[in-house]
Every structure is written in structure tokens, then in C-alpha cells.
Structure 1
Amino acid sequence: MKYVIGIDLGTSAVKILLVNQQGEVCKEISKPYPLIIEKSGYSEQNPEEWVEKTTAGLAELIEHFDGDVNDIEGISFSGQMHGLVLLDQDKEVLRNAILWNDTRTTEQCKQIYEAVGKQTLLEITKNPALEGFTLPKILWVKENEPEIYQRAYTFMLPKDYLRFRMTGNMHTEYSDAAGTLLLNVAKRKWSSELLNLFEIPLKLCPPLVESHAYVGTIQSEFASQTGLSEATKVFAGGADNACGAIGAGILKDGKTLCSIGTSGVVLSYEEKNDLDFDGKVHYFNHGEENAYYTMGVTLAAGYSLSWFKDTFFKNEDFDELLKDLNQVSPGSNGLVFTPYIAGERTPYADSAIRGSFIGIDAAHEKKHFVRAVLEGITFSLNDSIELFRSSGKSIDSIISIGGGAKNEIWLQMQADIFNSKVEKLNNEQGPGMGAAMLAAYGSGWFTSLKDCADVFIQSAKTYDPIPENVKVYKEIFAVYQQVYSQTKSLNDQLKALRK
């Protein structure tokens, strides 16, 4: 039996999957690492933590592997997007990585719009200037840490730095590069126009390859630390959302994904590079060659539920928290929650907005609040689905993965709110499986990612929308959509009071 390894470098942990030729997960290892939050709005990590925890995780996996390590033919990666890792000429890290959820760069986003213009930026990058992207981070370092910027030889994205430490070779690939705000998404090359405008040398940008591209083998030191064979082939990998799409089989037109993790994503496959969403949704290169995807984001999806549990019911697990969901009818007895507790991305791109419970009544109990939180998260994701539909896309089947696919009532709620068939996968492993599929394809097991998906991915259950619930949720969603505009000025006034 042959195997591949998928490594998902997330925000809170690295997840490592050993997968065989039937797409079965034979072993799974997860190793957490901390965030570094020096002040409000900052979010950093030490890249060495990624390397140490991945090394330890691979060593643990190999220690418990019964087969021949030479049968592990390939490794590929999924990684948190947008993060900035700066290296000097000796390929040493210059500072902590600035992560996707760092919001210190509001001023740099304004500078980008002033220098480029919103329309030109959208024509080149297909995306608006948002704090999470990489270019604003580079400009922040250039302005606030000039001595570090002067020493910078190249920038890397998180998973690309990890792969560099394993192989000694520097690359990035199109799906992750699309999240830097420096890639010409349609032309699939670094934008000389943007680089020249901001006086960023092209040499700062790593070489571009396909997500399934072979980029080297394991270095001897890394092989000795982990037990892997030095002959193990390494493939470039993809951005976490692209890999999540691959791992869910979103590989042809008409396929849509709903992924609920810390943040929430609605992602739809696109064959064309010239669609115009006016920057209201993200538009990125896919991990599949010459393909694209559009994506709406809820910043605090699963995080809203975790926040609610940890704040009010810290000693309960999620099963206990959700056990009475079926006792509450759709609409939570007139209680509406907006999951803007960390700002919002789609459709508002507003870092100052904050969450609300609207309609609190003395009759409301814990179970009503819990259901309202789940409904609010799903309403926010539905904002993205409605944007796609308004552009002419047909969305009648959605694959649900992540935390939102772990509870049957929530899955039915998604079908009802989205007014769409919702599918749960038989063995859902998210971006890590997408990374493993890129390694399988790169290793020559399949002639295409689609062929790989036919073997690796099966549907477990389908949830159809219930007409009476659809009707109720349409009415409530109309109320939900008013909350943002009704509370925006209030939250702007409260911003100064936040610490």
C-alpha cells in the first residue's frame, strides 16, 4: 500500500493526515501552537513554532507507522492565508509572522486605494484592500520597521515557509499568492504595476508554481528528525480555502462549499477569470490548475459559538450546549443574533461593527440563545450565498464541512436558511485532505484532481430544505439584514470605548 501526507498549517494548530490510495485516513496528528497578541488588533506567530510542531507531529506519525516509510510517496500542504514571513539574505526569519487576522493595517489599506484606485485594484487583484491581506502588512513593516524592511530578501506565506524548511527550496503557488494583493489573478503573475507603485522589488516575491507542482525532496536533517525518507517527494500545496474546496470535491462549475471553522466560508467554483463581483466577494485562483473560486467570509462563525460557550457556559462541552436545539422552533422565539463580534467581512468589510442580540425577551431561555447564535452564523453565511445568486449563479446543492457539519439540527438549519440541498461528507477532513489529494495527484496516482475526488470523497447524508422552515427563515433573514445598518453608527460611537 502506498501513502501520502497532507499537512494543514492552521492558525491554532498543525494537522497532519496519513492517507492511503483509497482515500482512507490511516493516522491523524494535531499539534497546537500559540498566538502572540501584543496589543489590540495584533496577531502574530513565531514561524519556528510551525516547524517544531510539524516536526514533532511527523515524528509521532512515523513512530506509530507500521509500514515502510519508503511507501509514503508524497507530502503536500494547506496553510492559513495572507500571513507575512520576512526572511533576510541568509534565509533567516526577521520578525514574527503577521497573521491573516491581524488588523493593524487600516491606514495602509487607505494608502493602497489612494495610490492605485479601487477599480484598478479590483481589475488586477480581483479583491479589495483589506487588513488581512499581505501587501498592507508589507507596507506596515516598510513604514514602521524600516530597518527590518531594508534587510528583507524575500517574503513567504506560512505554509511556504514550512515547506522551505523541509526542502530548502523557496516557492509559492497561485492559490496562496492570490491572497497577497500582489498577484494579477487573471494573468497569473506578480503584478509589476503594483510592485512598481509601492517600490517593492520583484525579487522580494517568491517564484510561482502550480499547487500540485513537485518542488523537491525532504532534506537529510529533516528526514533524520522525523523518520521520513529523504526520497519523499514534496508538492507545493495550496491556500487553506482552496485545499478545503479540493478536499470537499469543489472541482467543477456549480459546486458550492460551506465551511464553518473559526471563520466561515461560502466558496463556489469558477471556470472563468473575468467575472465581476465589484469586490463584494473574494475572487482567488484555485488549487486546480487554471481554475478559480469566489468566496464570501464570515469572520466569527464557529468563533461566535465558542465565544458564547466560553463566556456563559464555560464548563459545558458543545454536545451539552446544543442538546436542546430541537426544542426551539426556527426563529428562536423572535431572538436574532448577528455574529459580528470581531467585525465582518462579507458583505460589509467593516472592522468596527460588533455583534448584537436583538429582541431579548424575559421568556427567552438558554436554548433560545444557543439556537439564535447558530441561526445568526448561518444568516451571515447566507449573505454570501445571496450575493452569488444575485450575480446569476445557481446554487441548489451545497457541501457543508467543519463544525457546522457535526450537528444534524445545524445541517438542517443550513438547508432551510440557504433554501438548498445540503450534503454532509462521509469522511470530512477539510483542508488537510485537500493537501493529501494534491500529493496523490502530484505523485501520479490519478490523472486529475477530479479523478482523485471520485475515489477519496463520498457523500454520507443529504438534507433537503423544509418548505415551512424556509418561509419562516426568509422573513427573519429580512430582519437580520437590517441589523447592520441600524447598529453601524452606534458601534462607530462605541469603538473609542473598547480596550
Structure 2
Amino acid sequence: MKYVIGIDLGTSAVKILLVDQNGNVTQEVTKQYALIQEKPGYSEQRPEDWLEQTIAGLAELLEGFHGEVTAIEGISFSGQMHGLVLLDEQQNVLRPAILWNDTRTTAQCKQIYDKVGEARLLDITKNPALEGFTLPKLLWVKEHEPEIYARARTFVLPKDYVRYRLTGTLHMDYSDAAGTLLLDVANMNWSSELCDVLDIDVNLCPPLVGSHEEVGHVTEEMAEKTGLSSATRVFAGGADNACGAIGAGILSEGKTLCSIGTSGVVLSYEQEGTKEFGGKVHYFNHGAPEAYYTMGVTLAAGHSLSWFKDVFATDVSFDVLLSEVATVPVGSNGLLFTPYISGERSPHADAMIRGSFIGMDSRHERKDFVRAVMEGITFSLNESLEVFRQNGKEMDTIVSIGGGSKSSEWLQMQADIFQTPIVRPSSEQGPGMGAAMLAAFGCGWFASLQDCADSFLEMDEIYHPFQENVVKYKELFAIYQDVYGQTKQLNDSLSRYRM
């Protein structure tokens, strides 16, 4: 039996999957690491912590592996997007990595718009200037830590650094490069125009490769530390959302992913890189060869539900909380919730907006509020799907993963609000499986990633829209869309009172 390894370098932990030729996960190891938050809005990690825990995880996995080590033919990666890792001339780390959820760079985003222009930035990168992206972080270091910036010779993203230490070769794949705000997304090259306008040496940008491309082998040193064979082939891998899409089989037109975790994502496959969405949703290079994806983000999806439980329902489990929802009618008895408790990303890039319960009265019970929260999260994701549709996108299937796929009531709600059949995978492994599939494809096990998906992935249940519910949710969604505009000024006025 042959095997591949998928390494998913997340924000709180690295997850390592050993996958056999049939797509079965035969072993799984997770290793955690710390987050550094020295000031409000700051979020950093030590790249060495990623490396140490990845090595420890691989060593633990190999200890439990009873086959021939040479049967593990390939490794690939998924990784948290946007994080800035600066390296010097000897490719040593210059400072802790600034992560995707770091928000210190508002001034640098304004600087990008002032110098480049919002329209031109969208022409090149297909995305707006947001604090989470890599370019604003690079400009922040240039302004606030000039001595470190002067020593920088290249930058990479989190998984790229770990892969470099395992192989000794330095690259960045297109799917992750698209999240830097320096890639010409349609033409798949670094934008010398952006670098020139912003006075950034284009040579700081690393060599680009496809997610499925082989970039080296495990070094002798790392083979000794991990137990892997030095003959093990290493493939570039992709951004976590791109790998999540691969791991859910989002590999052809009409296929869309809905992932409800702490944040929420709707992601749809695109064959062409020429569509225009006006920055309302993200537009990135896929991990699949010569493909793209559109993506909308709800910042506080599952977080809205966990927040409600932590504040108002500490005495019950999530299972109990969700089981009550089935007895509440569509529309939560006239109660509406907007999940803006952490601001919002798509289609409203607004860090200042805050959530609302609209329509409360004394008859409402806890279960009404819970259903309203679930409906509000789903409405928010549907706003991004509406942007897709308004730009000519047709979606015939939505694959639902994450916390939102654990509740049959929520899956039916998604089908009714999205007006599309919802499919739940029989086994969900997320971005780590996508990384393993890239390794399997790279090793030549399959002629295409689609063939790999057909072999590795199985779908469980299908939820079809109920027409009666669809009609009601259309009316409610129109009301939901009004709330942002009606509450924006109120929230701006209240912002000075937030502690």
C-alpha cells in the first residue's frame, strides 16, 4: 500500500494526515502552538514553533506507522493565508510572523489606495486592500521597523517556511500568493507595477509554483528528525481555503463550498480569471491547475452561535441548544439577527459594524434566539452567494462542511435559504485532505485532481430546498439586507463608547 501525507498548518495547531491509496485516513496527529498578542489588534506567531510542532507531529505519526517508510511517497501542505514571514540573506527569520487576523495595518491599507487607486488595485489583484492581507503588513514593517525591513531579502507565507525547512527550497504557490495583494491574479505573476508604485523591491517576492508541483525532497537532516525517507517527494500545496475546496471536491463549474466554522466561507469554482466582482467578494487562484475561486467570508459565523451560548446558555450543550430549533418556525417568530459581532467582511468590508437582534418581544424564548442566530449566519453567507449569482454564476451543488453540517436542521436551512441542494460529505477532513490529494496527484496516482476526488471522496446526505420555506426566506432575506444600511450610522456613533 502506498501513502501520502497532508500537513495543514492552521492558526492554533498543525494537523497531519496519513492517507492511503484509497483515500482512507489511517493516522492523524495534531500539535498545538501559541498565539502572541502583545497589543490590541496584534496577532503573531513564532515560525520556529510551527517547524518544531510539525517535526514532532511527523515523528509521532511515523512512530505509529508499521509499513515501509518508503511507501510514504509524497507530502504536501495547506496553510493559514496572508501571514508575513520575513527572511534575511541566509533565510533566517527576522521577526515573529504577523498573522492573517492581525488588524494593525489600517493606515497601510489607506496608503495602498492613495498610491495605487482602488480601481487599479482591483484590476490587478481582484481584491480590496484589507488589514488581513500580506502587503499591508510588509508596508507596516517598512514604516515601523525599518532596520528589520532593510535586512529582508524575501518573504514567504507560513506553510512555505515550514516546507522550506523540510526541503531547503523556497517557493510560494499561486493560491497563497493571491492572498498577498501583490499577485497579478489573472496573469499569474508578481505585479512589478504594484511593487514600483509602493517602493517595494520585486525581488522580495519568492519564486512561484503550482500547488501540485514538486519542489524537492525531504532533506537528510529532516529525515533523521522525523523518521521520513529522504526520498519522500514534497509538493508545494496551497492556501487553506483552496485546499479545503479540493478536499471537498470543488473542482468544476457549478460546485460551491459552504464552510461554517468560527468564521464562515462560501467558495465557488471558477475556470476563468477574468470576472469582476468589484471587491465585494474575494477572487483567488485555486490549488487546482489553471483555475480560480470566488469566496465570500462571514467573520463571525459559528462564533456568533458560540458567543450566544457562552453568554445566555451556559447550562446546556450545543446538542440541546440546536435540538430546540426544530420546533421554531421559519423566521424565528419575527426575530432577525445580523452576525456582525466582530465586524463584517463580505460583501460589507466594515470593521466597525456590529450585530443586531431586530424584532424582539416578550414572547420570544431562547430557542427563537438560537434559530434567529442560525438564520442570520446563513443569510450573511447568502449575501455572498447573491454576489456570485448577480455576476452570472450558476450553482448546482453546495457541499457543506464544518459546524454547520453537524445539524440536519441547519443543513435544511442552508438548502432553503441558498435555494440549492446541499450535500454533506460522509467523512470530512478539510484542508489536510486537500493537501494529501495534491500530493497524490503530484505523485502520479491520478490523471487529475478530479479523478482523485472521485476516488477519495464520498458524499452522504442530500438536502433539497422546500419550496414553501424558500418563499418565506426570500422575503426575510430582503429584510435582512436592509439592516446593514439602517444600522451602520448608529454603530458608527456607538463606536466611541466601546471599551
Shorter-chain TM-score above 0.5: yes
The worse-fitting range, judged by mean Cα deviation, of 75-84 and 34-43 is 34-43
Distance in 2 of aligned mates of 1:253 and 1:97: 36
1:225 maps to 225
Q: 1: CA distance between counterparts of 2:462 and 2:285?
A: 29
C-alpha change, 1:295 and 1:145, in structure 2 (3 Å) is same
* Deviation of the 1:489 alpha carbon: 0.9
* d(CA) in 2 for partners of 1:71, 1:310: 46
| Alpha-carbon distance in structure 2 between the residues aligned to 1:415 and 1:487 | 28
- Counterpart residue number, 2:360: 360
Q: Could you say which residue in structure 1 is the equivalent of 2:272? A: 272
Q: Distance in 1 between matches of 2:158 and 2:309?
A: 30
How far apart are the structure 2 equivalents of 1:376 and 1:32?
32
Cα deviation, residue 276, structure 1: 1.2
Q: Give the match's secondary structure for 1:73.
A: strand
Question: What residue in structure 1 maps to residue 210 of structure 2?
Answer: 210
Q: Residue deviations 1:158-182, cap 9 Å, x none?
A: 1111111111111001000001010
Q: Contact 2:173 / 2:237 at 8 angstroms: preserved in 1?
A: yes
- Seen in structure 2, the aligned counterparts of structure 1 residues 351 and 377 have a Cα distance that, compared at 3 Å, is same
* TM-score for the superposition, normalised by structure 2: 0.98
Distance 2:317 2:160 in 1: 35
- Do structure 1's residue 147 and structure 2's residue 147 form an aligned pair? yes
Matched, 1:130 2:139: no
1:11 aligns to 2:11 (yes or no): yes
Matching residue's letter, 2:213: A
Report deviation, 1:84. 0.6
Question: What CA distance in whole angstroms lies between the structure 2 residues aligned with 1:46 and 1:308?
Answer: 32
Q: Paired residue for 1:173?
A: 173
Moved more, 215-224 or 77-86: 215-224
Mapping of residues 41-120 of structure 1, within 5 Å: 41-120=41-120
Specify the alignment match of 2:328 in structure 1.
328
The C-alpha deviation readout for 1:372-423, integer Å capped at 9, x for no partner, is 1111111100001111111121123211111111111111110011111000
Matched, 1:288 2:288: yes
Unpaired runs of 5+ in structure 1? none
Which amino acid in the other structure matches residue 432 of structure 2? G
1:267 is paired with a residue whose SS is strand
Which residue is equivalent to 2:420? Answer: 420
CA offset at residue 183 of structure 1?
Answer: 0.4
Q: 1:30-41 maps to which residues of 2 (within 5 A)? A: 30-41=30-41
- Match of 1:40, SS state, is coil
In angstroms, what is the RMSD of aligned CA positions? 1.3
- The residue matched to 2:473 in structure 1 has which SS? helix
What CA deviation, in whole Å up to 9, does each residue of 1:145-164 have, x standing for no partner? Answer: 11111111111101111111
Once the two structures are overlaid, the 10-residue window that deviates more, 174-183 or 95-104, is 95-104
Q: Residue type of the partner of 2:398?
A: I
Distance, in Å, in 1 between the alignment partners of 2:181 and 2:460 is 38
Q: Does 1:245 align with 2:240?
A: no
Q: 1:177 to 1:419 in 2, by over 3 A?
A: same
Partner of 2:160: 160
Alpha-carbon contact 2:255-2:396 (below 8 Å) kept? no
- Tell me the amino acid that sits aligned with residue 381 of structure 2: L
Residues 437-456 of structure 1 mapped to structure 2, 5 A cutoff: 437-456=437-456
Confirm or deny: 8 A CA contact 2:17 2:29 kept in the other structure: yes
Amino acid at match of 1:392: G
Taking the TM superposition and a 5 Å limit, the aligned residue runs for 1:257-268 are: 257-268=257-268
Tell me the alpha carbon deviations over residues 336-388 of structure 1, each in whole angstroms, 9 at most, x when there is no partner: 11111111111110111111122222222222222111111111000011111
Distance 1:59 1:320, change over 3 A: farther
Identity of aligned residues (%): 69
**Farther-moved stretch of structure 1 (314-323 vs 98-107):** 314-323
Give 3-state SS (helix, strand or coil) of 1:93's partner: coil
Aligned partners of 2:293, 2:150: CA distance in 1, in Å? 35
Contact 2:8/2:14 (<8 A) preserved: yes
Letter in 1 for 2:127: N
Rounded to whole Å, the distance in 1 between the matches of 2:169 and 2:263 is: 31
Task: Please state if 1:387 is matched with 2:387.
Answer: yes
Preserved CA contact (<8 Å) 1:336 1:359 = yes
| C-alpha separation in 2, matches of 1:255 and 1:384 | 15
- AA matched with 2:479: V
Residue identity in the other structure for 1:131: E
Q: Please state how far the C-alpha of 1:323 moved relative to its aligned partner.
A: 2.4
Alignment of 1:176-191 (within 5 A): 176-191=176-191
Structure 2 stretches lacking a partner, 5+ long: none
Give me the whole-angstrom Cα distance separating, in 2, the residues matched to 1:467 and 1:459: 24
Work out whether 1:300 is the aligned partner of 2:309: no
CA distance in 2, matches of 1:132, 1:421: 32
Any idea what the Cα deviations from partners look like across 1:310-350, whole Å, max 9, x if unmatched? 33334644223322121212211112111111111111101
Amino acid at match of 1:430: G
Structure 1 distance, partners of 2:311, 2:149, is 40
Verify the 8 A CA contact 1:247 1:429 in the aligned structure 2. Answer: yes
Task: Decide whether aligned partners of structure 1 residues 39 and 494 sit closer, same or farther in structure 2, where only a CA change above 3 A counts.
Answer: farther
The alignment partner of 1:451 has SS state of helix
Match of 1:481 in 2: 481
Please give the alpha-carbon distance, in whole angstroms, between the structure 2 residues aligned to 1:470 and 1:125: 36
Task: Say which is worse superposed, 24-33 or 307-316, in terms of deviation.
Answer: 307-316
C-alpha distance in structure 2 between counterparts of 1:497 and 1:48, whole Å: 39
Q: Give distance in 1, aligned partners of 2:376 and 2:81.
A: 25
- CA–CA distance in 2 between the matches of 1:313 and 1:168? 50
Q: In the TM superposition, what is the alpha-carbon distance from 1:468 to its structure 2 partner?
A: 1.4
Contact 1:396 1:419 in 2 (8 A): no
In structure 2, give the amino acid aligned to 1:82. Answer: H
User: Equivalents in 2 of 1:27, 1:303: separation in Å?
Assistant: 29
Q: Which amino acid aligns with 2:453?
A: A
d(CA) in 1 for partners of 2:455, 2:245: 16
Count of aligned pairs: 499
Please give the TM-score of this superposition, normalised by the length of structure 1: 0.98
